[in-house]
């Protein structure tokens, strides 16, 4: 069983440096570097994805440890469908295996599991597994863990516009288009915007992730490949976040 935050704060020196009054409520992560990790070891790409599961576990553990309420992971983009069919199939097999293996932990730790993206594009088995976990955890009060699957920021905005146009054609949409209105038509309108976005592998790109939501998000790039991501990397990112001044377009006092 996972230890309480009070018990765990002595486990890593970085935890003692984190200001518990300035914890980012929502952390999003672009999990990058699985392929390069595998290539550097002379392994097939799928081995990098398998190793990347440890990064997922580390991120979830660290988010719970510091008290983050929402964690969103970029697991599979709309562009990833362009990869070889065999790799895509293996990726969803890995996801199915992860859900099966972690379901007891998810239940025990009261994790609320969610998904965003064009979910109808997913394999039927995977889609059903995801729906089952979401339904079973919808009332959980712990960390909200969201997987972005068949997701693209532009696709999300296009889908939102499409929904609004559909409503307008039926005469059910007559409001002025505002940011609040658009927000209602996003994949998860109740999910708060990320306070912190972490990208691994040292690449300085957004990669079409949460384009609407990250307008004022702090972005931190870590020079670590995703399979090597551990809780201390998460703690380092939170400490970096806490040293910054968030102005939301304003000026410093």
Three-class SS of 41-69: CCCCHHHHHHHHHHHHHHHHHHHHHHCCC
DSSP state at residue 225: -
Among 111, 130, 134, 114, residue whose Cα is nearest residue 122 = 130
- Cβ atoms of 151 and 77 within 8 Å: the answer is yes
Q: Read off the tokens for 135.
A: 């339904």
Tell whether the torsion through CA atoms of 139, 61, 48 and 83 is positive or negative.
positive
Reply yes or no on whether 159 is catalytic.
no
Instruction: Please identify which of the residues 32, 34, 129, 195 carries the catalytic annotation.
Output: 32
What are the φ and ψ backbone dihedral angles of 191, each rounded to 5 degrees? -80, 125
Q: Which residues contact 182 (CB under 8 A, 6 or more apart)?
A: 157, 160, 164, 212
C-beta of residue 68 within 8 angstroms of C-beta of residue 23: yes
Residue 95 token pair: 């996801």
Candidates 19, 34, 80, 93; catalytic one: 80
* 95: phi then psi, degrees, rounded to nearest 5: -65, -45
Beta-bridge mates of residue 77: 151
| Residue 135: active-site member | no
Kindly state the tokens that stand for 217.
Answer: 């998000």
Q: Catalytic residue positions?
A: 32, 80
């Amino acid at each position: 069983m996972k230890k309480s935050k009070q018990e765990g704060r002595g486990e890593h020196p970085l935890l003692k440096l984190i200001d518990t009054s300035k914890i980012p409520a929502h952390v999003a992560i672009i999990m990058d570097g699985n392929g390069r990790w595998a290539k550097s070891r002379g392994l097939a790409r799928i081995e990098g994805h398998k190793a990347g599961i440890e990064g997922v576990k580390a991120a979830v553990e660290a988010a719970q440890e510091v008290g983050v309420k929402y964690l969103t992971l970029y697991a599979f983009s709309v562009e990833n469908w362009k990869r070889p069919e065999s790799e895509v199939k293996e990726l969803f097999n890995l996801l199915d295996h992860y859900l099966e293996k972690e379901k007891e932990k998810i239940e025990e730790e009261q994790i609320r599991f969610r998904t965003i993206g064009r979910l109808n594009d997913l394999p039927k088995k995977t889609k059903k597994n995801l729906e089952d976990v979401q339904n079973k955890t919808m009332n959980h009060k712990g960390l909200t863990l969201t997987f972005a699957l068949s997701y693209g920021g532009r696709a999300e905005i296009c889908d939102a516009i499409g929904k609004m146009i559909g409503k307008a054609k039926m005469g059910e949409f007559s409001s002025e288009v505002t940011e609040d209105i658009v927000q209602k038509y996003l994949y998860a309108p109740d999910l708060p915007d990320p306070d912190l976005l972490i990208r691994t592998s040292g690449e300085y790109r957004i990669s079409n992730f949460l384009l609407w939501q990250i307008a004022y998000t702090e972005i931190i790039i870590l020079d670590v490949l995703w399979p090597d991501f551990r809780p201390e990397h998460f703690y380092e990112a939170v400490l970096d976040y806490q040293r910054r001044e968030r102005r939301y377009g304003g000026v410093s006092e």
